[in-house]
Structure formats: C-alpha cells, structure tokens
Amino acid sequence: MKKRKFSGAVINKMQIKLPAISVNEGMARAAVAAFCASLDPAAIEIADIKCAVSEAVTNCIVHAYKNTSGLIYITVSLMEGRAVKIEIRDRGCGIENIKQARMPLFTTDREDERSGMGFTVMESFCDKVGVRSKVGVGTTVILYKQFVDRDT
C-alpha cells in the first residue's frame, strides 16, 4: 500500500452551504464522507475524513459565529490519484493568531470548557491542514487526505 503525492486534476466537486448550527455538524460529515466514497477509500480513511470535518465544522459553529448566526461553506474536490481536498469556510470573526490557535490545548472559549484540540485532531486525521483567516472577515480550513493506493 503506497501513498501518492497530492497531484492531479479535479475529477468531481461538491459544494454545500449550511447554517452554522450544531445539528448540521452530523449532516456535513455524512455528506462529505458519502461524496468521498466514490474513490473507494478504506473504512478507516472515511472515519478519518468524518472526524476531521466534524472538528472543522464544530469550530465554525462554536468560534466563528459567537452569539450570532452565519453560514458554513464546504467544498469537496476529488482529485486524480485518490486524493481529496476539503475546504470549510465561514464568514465569522476570524482568527487573530493562527499559529497560537493551532497549538494543542489553546482555546478562546474557556467558559464553555473547550479542550483546544480542534486543529490537533484535524492534523492527526489528515495528511495536511491549511488555515487562512482574517479578523472580521472569516476563516478557511483546508483538509487534504491521500487515500492509499490498494492496487500496488
């Protein structure tokens, strides 16, 4: 089982727009997993995708739109070479210090007893995680997962 590098053209793409409310976290993870299923990943690879998407969407719900409502935009691109790119974007408050936010146990929401492990979880289940953010404009989290080539 050999992994390939992220490369290749987009072979299929899906976009979802959801209200940033907690009941939509499960729908987001199920929809992304179902869409990725056409690449025939192993069950553990689908579980990894579901966990990472769950964390990213939960971060939007909990942190991006504190005391307000908003939308979550999800774009999933299936790539040649059995890779997937998942972009989860909000138009919320943004992240002031991305480096600090990615540190294990860092949280801005201590009163709700958040663990501060969201980015750490995403990084453990994906091959690469990117973050772009601007305060007052929003945040985009990009998750990359390369499915194992089981033919070699």
Place of tokens 């973050």: 131
Per-residue DSSP letters for 118-138?
HHHHHHHHSSEEEEEEETTTE
Q: Is 45 a catalytic residue?
A: no
Length of the chain (residues)? 152
Catalytic residue among 59, 97, 113, 150: 59
Whether 67 is a known active-site residue: answer no
80 is catalytic: no
Any residues with CB less than 8 A from the CB of 83 and at least 6 apart, and which? 4, 6, 7, 8, 144, 145, 146, 147
Mode of pairing for the β-strands spanning 71-79 and 83-90: antiparallel
User: Choosing from 4, 91, 114, 132, which is the catalytic residue?
Assistant: 114
Is the separation of the CB atoms in 4 and 152 below 8 Å? no
Q: Identify the active-site residue in 29, 45, 55, 89.
A: 55
Residue 14, sorted as left (phi over 0), alpha (psi -120 to 50) or beta, turns out to be beta
Catalytic residue annotation = 55, 59, 114
